[in-house]
Structure 1
């Protein structure tokens, strides 16, 4: 069930009406939201609702046992339970996402040594959002073990991992942010409604009009066969994908935040103009903030962080980015993408440590320009289906064939417009929402409906799936 569709619109209207109609019992309201979330997830494949429930119960039960180890002498038991819980989550993720990949690589390795084996590949269907809800479960277990959050009830924990606005593509909302909200009966505030509607409409526009059109009519055909296109086509497609993935993913996050707000819950914002970053480390403070902060808090710091000196910090940065890249998918291109980001961040760390103090700092505009193009280079590996495809794409750019292009003026305009969207100040939406608070509810609803109809008329045939659905 995709957000920018009529089916989801009708589904959400029904959920919205029913949840706010339930009065006097927050528990029944949460049960209704939980059932609605399972319907939302089951619309894709009912079989995997059981996996979602199992994962939630596993993390709830393990966290409850961890919380009962209060005495210092039980620290070893607490650690063992945490290791078990994290390993169980990784086993779920590993089986569905990486089982066939590792067997294929083993088959290739055996072939190199002259052994031919038929590997028992299962062609496993990847559950939508499995990476997000397993990461959410692990962060909850670690926070309980670190005594940062108290253990949640079974209902709250299951709803945390199943809540449909963020279930399939984030943001990765932590237990410390959302469970305290579940414990209180939400109130429908005019400010939250105004901001929620604004974010939903804004996200719908970015996804349906900008990202989907760039995907279908520019990026997908050029990445499908780079050798059939000129160097100019390839460069435009690279820039096009940089705009597409930003508009696509930030649109999902905006809509998720907006939908949660209409139901009375606050999600953290997930993007902060990432292409304004002056370094790769700055980029990861701005891009997919919920994931980058997760990697920092639960992987980088767990590896040792910056403790032990600059060289161990560099090692931990590289490992974190490699694993972060591999989290995105079982392909070598994601490892290379993560490795590129890791290597550049290591270089930045070493430069800050050993740069001669009398050397001037790089001008901001130049730093932003260089960072953006390093990120765009990485997006080529991220988008390419295979390593050979990425190399063919880069080789095509190197041909120097700057002749005709298939990119229409509309595509060029959408790329430029997408960058304008990106550079829109975050405070603009907040200011508009403040002004919308005083608009009568009926007028606000009619206005939102009219804007959605206009966007529907502007968009092109079909809606490409959200990029992060595959993760």
Structure 2
């Protein structure tokens, strides 16, 4: 079940909120309601017993593993064997599903959607993170499996994140407080995320598919011109940002409606002035997870050689987490090379032009995203060859004007929100605007309501620019 469906918005979410807050005085029942809602959400969306069974196994395995690790840590002679065993099985499960998907693409059945459980990468990391937290002594193994099951399966973050530490999540589960202001703020954040996906990201998807398919065909007749490929490069970055940040906004908003605070996953990443700065702003909970758990677990001292090894292993793992193929491995290695160069050559201190640093960062990020979007390294090479006019493709044709005419509105809004709004947001309101704060809040409320109605219309009418272009 997706967040942007009528069945979720009009049925699942209202029923969940109703039962959740109807049992606000009975914490145990309220927790059971939240767990039942989360598991029902996953069952309805997974469309198969294998996915649901995998989620239940990961919950049970890591909960028991936490107790085994804690028991071992109480002994005088501590051992890393229990945590290695528990985490090893988690990694094995993740790897088996990923490899099975690779075999399926080469003709083996059944389908990938059936084989790879929804949200596998996210709930596996949550399970591993919990066990490492127990191993490091940052949290105690929870005796109540209900708390841990809610932590792993909590439906707002189950499929697309963000990640949160168990210790921070546990203290919020079943607090038993109904705060209308928090529910309203959560609903507003959810509508903003829904609008990002439906009104911007989904409207750009058809064009990106078209450009990448045309580039992959490798035909002189259909080969896209340089200008179209550059437009595709830019729109791909815009679409990827809005689809991922939309899911993060919806997750944070839904959790807020249930009285739980999830961490931010994006912090205006296109304000970044280096690739190092960019990865402090993009998918922040994922990057911080690898930094916190992986780097601390291997416990390397920070001399130059070990920093290099640290960073290489981390980025290869991040690449494999996103996808089990050479494209993602190469993408991780590319990030490693650039980040290590920025670190050792003190890029931010030596290059003083903010404009140059921002353009450099955006260009590197957009080119890196090609690896995540392409189906193979050969396809990536084809796209980059078209991008830099190396494949004897033309420079311009009428398709560029056609797509710009169709995409200008969602693209313009996307560019404003990515590159302009973050800087305007930093400025303090003048005294004149502060006096009108009440009217501004009223206008914001009206705007959110109109966005919600527009999103519902888009869902009901199944509207997309791909239809008009066809």
Interval of TM-score (by shorter of Structure 1 and Structure 2) = 0.7 to 0.9
1:348 is matched with which residue?
Answer: 342
Distance 1:462 1:238, change over 3 A: farther
- What residue number does 1:368 align with? 358
Paired with 1:363 and 1:293, the residues of 2 have a C-alpha distance of: 28
Q: 1:401 to 1:461 in 2, by over 3 A?
A: farther
- Give 2:226's match in structure 1, choosing from 217, 226, 231: 231
Q: Does structure 1 conserve the Cα–Cα contact (< 8 Å) formed by 2:308 and 2:340?
A: yes
Match of residue 63 from structure 2: 60
Structure 2 matches for 1:72-471, cutoff 5 A? 72-76=75-79, 79-99=80-100, 101=102, 125-152=115-142, 153-182=144-173, 184-216=174-206, 218-226=207-215, 227=218, 228=222, 229-304=224-299, 307-352=301-346, 360-399=350-389, 401-404=394-397, 405=400, 406-423=402-419, 424-425=421-422, 450-457=450-457, 462=462
The worse-fitting range, judged by mean Cα deviation, of 80-89 and 453-462 is 453-462
Shift of 1:164: 0.4
Cα deviation for residue 255 of structure 1 reads 0.5
| Unaligned 5+ runs, structure 2 | 465-470
For residues 21 and 423 of structure 2, what CA distance do their matches in structure 1 show?
29
Contact 1:212 1:463 in 2 (8 A): no
CA contact (8 A) 2:101 2:116 kept: no
Change (3 A) 1:303 1:368: farther
Give yes or no for contact 1:236–1:407 (8 Å, CA) kept in 2: no
Across the aligned residues of Structure 1 and Structure 2, the Cα RMSD in angstroms comes to 3.0
Judged with a 3 Å threshold, the aligned counterparts in structure 2 of structure 1 residues 436 and 380 are, in CA distance, closer, same or farther, namely farther
Alpha-carbon shift at residue 435 of structure 1 (Å): 6.3
Instruction: Name the structure 1 match of 2:467.
Output: none
Q: TM-score, normalised by structure 1?
A: 0.85
Match of 1:71 among 71, 74, 88: 74
Shift of 1:71: 3.5
Q: Which SS does the other structure have where 1:344 is aligned?
A: helix
CA change 1:198–1:269 in 2 (3 A) is same
**In structure 2, how many angstroms separate the alpha carbons of the residues matched to 1:72 and 1:12?**
46
Q: 1:181 aligns to what SS in structure 2?
A: coil
Equivalent residue runs for 1:8-47 within 5 Å: 8-9=8-9, 10-44=11-45, 45-47=47-49
In the alignment, is the contact (CA less than 8 A) between 1:194 and 1:437 conserved in 2?
no
**1:266 match: secondary structure:** coil
Segments of structure 1 that go 5 or more residues without pairing to the other structure are 108-118, 465-471
Would the alpha carbon gap of residues 130 and 314 (structure 1) be closer, same or farther in structure 2, given more than 3 Å must change? same
Number of aligned residues? 437
CA–CA separation in structure 2 for the residues paired with 1:138 and 1:245:
27
Change (3 A) 1:328 1:231: same
Q: 1:221 to 1:34 in 2, by over 3 A?
A: same
1:2-57 alpha-carbon deviations (Å, 9 max, x no partner): 11110111211110111001132211111111111111111122412221111101
Structure 1 Cα separation of the partners of residues 151 and 170 of structure 2 = 7
Deviation at 1:436, TM superposition (A): 10
Q: Distance in 2 between matches of 1:372 and 1:304?
A: 33
Q: For residues 458 and 428 of structure 1, do their structure 2 counterparts lie closer, same or farther at Cα, with a shift above 3 Å needed?
A: farther
Q: Distance in 2 between matches of 1:8 and 1:246?
A: 23
SS of the residue 1:225 aligns to: helix
